[in-house]
């Protein structure tokens, strides 16, 4: 059964979808809407996504709405489903990113003094900023699989790729159709990791690249931030770069002159890249931090660590007990997070273990998405 209703979008949800109230009192989430939009919506009461309504038409646009410049954006079959916030002014996107951060911390009852929050660091480029993307291909076309429809949507242009990546994208596109790009894994596509550090002929299907920060300009900022935070610490301090990847931040620590850096990471291919950098003062530990005994192992290799840089994947610090048990000498934690829920969870735990939150700097790595990256600093009260 379907019903149609009119409403004003009153907020954005946790996932960044518009929030509307149905006349019967229920709340629905709507893709492709922005707070202030007055529109007509349809609810399919038998649909799988029971809490989502579809936008039928915008009757009056939000003052923050802008004309979308990408012809592939949208949620119908054949549209890519990406860049959900491309409908709004960038300043409004940033405002809602900050709101998401505050909301996530409030939900965990973490109270943060206002001077701890630094202004959000806007992306210098809001189009053409991405240095890598994962595309899908059926051997004939390149595209994305829409999160909304789960349908493969071919594209021949992508506004968020940087110039170099776009060139590579077109070089690969020019080689199609080809038989080595075979659908796999029960899908009608396979995946391609495109990266502006690769040549187009080096790109192979279903081969995951080690992690790389996706916005080159903002990565420069993040490295500078790490440099500023560590530069005043004594260089003989034993430090840990946990979730070091291929050494993006390890390079900074080594460059500052730290002589005792333990770089920890699970992915062997990332660590091979780090080894090839031949950084001074760095020892490498290949380890899955979620495995039993991993914190004890870190403590064995770096028993007197005084500062730690933590840059986990979205799941955050899943196994934290060992962290509190083994790293007694720690004075500073620099926590870089790509996921607000787990950042808030871990912050709450740290605060409950008597760590003081000194700084929270949100930074926008991915314009047109709800994503917010956090740069944060915790210290022991008398450090
Ligand atoms: C957000 S990335 C950060 C990488 C690096 N700091 C950078 O800036 O490029 C997170 C890293 O954690 C690694 N990782 C994920 N799960 C892990 C685990 N359970 N144990 C150790 N490392 C893990 C990933 O392979 C990835 O390199």
- In this structure, is residue 370 part of a structural domain? yes
For residue 255 and ligand 1, the question of a CB distance below 6 A is answered with no
Are 255 and 283 contained in the same domain?
Answer: yes
What would the pLDDT profile of 252-308 be if each residue is shown by its tens digit? 999 999 999 999 999 999 999 999 999 999 999 999 999 999 999 999 999 999 999
- In this structure, is residue 275 part of a structural domain? yes
Number of domains the chain contains: 3
Are 189 and 286 contained in the same domain?
Answer: no
Are 52 and 140 contained in the same domain?
Answer: no
Are 140 and 266 contained in the same domain?
Answer: no
* Mutation to probe ligand 1, out of 197, 245, 291, 375 (largest number of atoms < 8 A from CB): 245
For residue 245 and ligand 1, the question of a CB distance below 6 A is answered with yes
C-alpha of residue 316 to centroid of ligand 1, in Å: 10
- In this structure, is residue 359 part of a structural domain? yes
For residue 290 and ligand 1, the question of a CB distance below 6 A is answered with yes
Tell which of 60, 78, 96 closes a domain. Answer: 60
- Asked if 378 contacts 333 with a C-beta cutoff of 8 angstroms, the reply is yes
Task: Please give the average per-residue pLDDT across 154-183, as a whole number.
Answer: 95
The pTM for the full model equals: 0.96
Are 330 and 257 contained in the same domain?
Answer: yes
Hey, what are 356's tokens?
């003081």
For residue 270 and ligand 1, the question of a CB distance below 6 A is answered with yes
- In this structure, is residue 334 part of a structural domain? yes
pLDDT band at 55 (very low <50, low <70, confident <90, very high): very high
E strand map for 199-331: 239-242, 261-265, 282-286, 307-310
pLDDT at 381 over 90: no
- In this structure, is residue 90 part of a structural domain? no
**What is the rounded average pLDDT for all residues in the chain?**
95
The CATH number of the domain holding residue 330 is 3.40.50.150
3-class secondary-structure state, position 208 = coil
If we measure between CA atoms, which residue out of 325, 334, 114 comes closest to residue 231? 334
Question: d(Cα 128, Cα 24) in Å, to the nearest integer?
Answer: 43
From the number of C-beta atoms within 10 Å of its C-beta (0-12, 13-18, 19+), residue 72 rates as buried
- The CA-CA-CA angle for residues 143, 140, 74, to 5°, reads 25
Reply yes or no: is the peptide bond before residue 105 cis, omega within 30 of 0.
Answer: no
Are 178 and 252 contained in the same domain?
Answer: no
Are 368 and 229 contained in the same domain?
Answer: yes
* Mutation to probe ligand 1, out of 216, 244, 271, 313 (largest number of atoms < 8 A from CB): 313
C-alpha of residue 274 to centroid of ligand 1, in Å: 13
What would the pLDDT profile of 117-157 be if each residue is shown by its tens digit? 999 999 999 999 999 999 999 999 999 999 888 899 999 99
For residue 364 and ligand 1, the question of a CB distance below 6 A is answered with no
Tell which of 18, 37, 60 closes a domain. Answer: 60
CA-proximal residue: ligand 1, atom 12 (nearest): 243
The CATH number of the domain holding residue 21 is 2.40.50.140
- Asked if 39 contacts 6 with a C-beta cutoff of 8 angstroms, the reply is yes
For residue 274 and ligand 1, the question of a CB distance below 6 A is answered with no
What would the pLDDT profile of 305-345 be if each residue is shown by its tens digit? 999 999 999 999 999 888 889 999 999 999 999 999 999 99
Residue 338 annotated among the catalytic residues of the structure: yes
C-alpha of residue 271 to centroid of ligand 1, in Å: 10
Are 142 and 178 contained in the same domain?
Answer: yes
Within 8 A by CB and 6+ apart from 97, the residues are 120, 362, 364, 370, 371, 372
- The CA-CA-CA angle for residues 198, 366, 343, to 5°, reads 110
Are 152 and 187 contained in the same domain?
Answer: yes
For residue 248 and ligand 1, the question of a CB distance below 6 A is answered with yes
Are 193 and 224 contained in the same domain?
Answer: no
Indicate if the alpha-carbon torsion angle 244, 245, 247, 248 is positive or negative. negative
What would the pLDDT profile of 59-72 be if each residue is shown by its tens digit? 999 999 999 999 99
Question: d(Cα 78, Cα 305) in Å, to the nearest integer?
Answer: 52
- Which among 70, 80, 244, 338 is annotated as catalytic? 338
pLDDT for 44: 83
Are 249 and 335 contained in the same domain?
Answer: yes
- In this structure, is residue 96 part of a structural domain? no
- In this structure, is residue 76 part of a structural domain? no
Containing structural domain, residue 47: 2-60
C-alpha of residue 229 to centroid of ligand 1, in Å: 20
C-alpha of residue 35 to centroid of ligand 1, in Å: 35
If we measure between CA atoms, which residue out of 98, 96, 91, 93 comes closest to residue 83? 93
Are 301 and 350 contained in the same domain?
Answer: yes
Q: Which atom of ligand 1 is nearest to the CA of 294?
A: 20
């Amino acid at each position: 059964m379907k019903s149609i209703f009119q409403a004003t979008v009153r907020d954005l949800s946790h996932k960044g979808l518009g929030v509307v109230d149905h006349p019967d009192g229920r709340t629905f989430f709507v893709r492709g809407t922005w707070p202030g939009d007055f529109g007509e919506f349809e609810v399919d009461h038998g649909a799988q996504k029971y809490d989502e309504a579809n936008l039928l038409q915008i009757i009056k646009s939000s003052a923050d709405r802008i004309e979308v410049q990408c012809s592939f954006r949208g949620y119908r079959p054949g549209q890519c489903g990406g860049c959900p916030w491309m409908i709004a002014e960038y300043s409004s996107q940033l405002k809602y990113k900050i709101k998401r951060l505050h909301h996530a911390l409030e939900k965990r009852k973490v109270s943060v003094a206002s001077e701890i929050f630094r202004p959000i660091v806007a992306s210098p480029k809001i189009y053409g900023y991405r240095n890598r993307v994962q595309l899908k291909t059926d051997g004939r076309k390149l595209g994305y699989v829409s999160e909304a429809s789960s349908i493969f949507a071919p594209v021949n242009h992508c506004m968020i790729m940087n110039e170099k990546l776009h060139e590579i994208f077109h070089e690969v596109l020019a080689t199609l159709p080809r038989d080595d790009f075979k659908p796999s894994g029960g899908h009608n596509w396979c995946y391609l990791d495109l990266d502006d550090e690769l040549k187009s002929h080096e790109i192979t299907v279903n081969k995951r690249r080690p992690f790389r920060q996706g916005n080159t300009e903002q990565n420069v900022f993040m490295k500078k931030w790490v440099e500023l935070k560590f530069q005043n610490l004594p260089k003989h301090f034993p430090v840990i770069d946990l979730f070091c990847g291929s050494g993006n931040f390890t390079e900074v620590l080594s460059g500052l002159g730290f002589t005792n850096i333990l770089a920890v990471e699970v992915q062997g291919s990332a660590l091979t890249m780090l080894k090839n950098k031949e950084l001074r003062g760095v020892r490498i530990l290949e380890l899955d931090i979620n495995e039993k005994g991993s914190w004890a192992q870190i403590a064995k290799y770096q028993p007197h660590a005084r500062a730690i840089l933590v840059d986990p994947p979205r799941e955050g610090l899943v196994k934290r007990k060992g962290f509190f048990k083994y790293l007694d000498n720690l004075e500073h934690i620099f926590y870089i997070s790509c996921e607000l829920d787990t950042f808030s969870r871990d912050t709450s735990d740290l605060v409950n273990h008597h760590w003081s939150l000194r700084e929270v700097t949100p930074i926008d790595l991915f314009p047109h998405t709800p994503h917010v990256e956090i740069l944060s600093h915790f210290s022991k009260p008398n450090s």
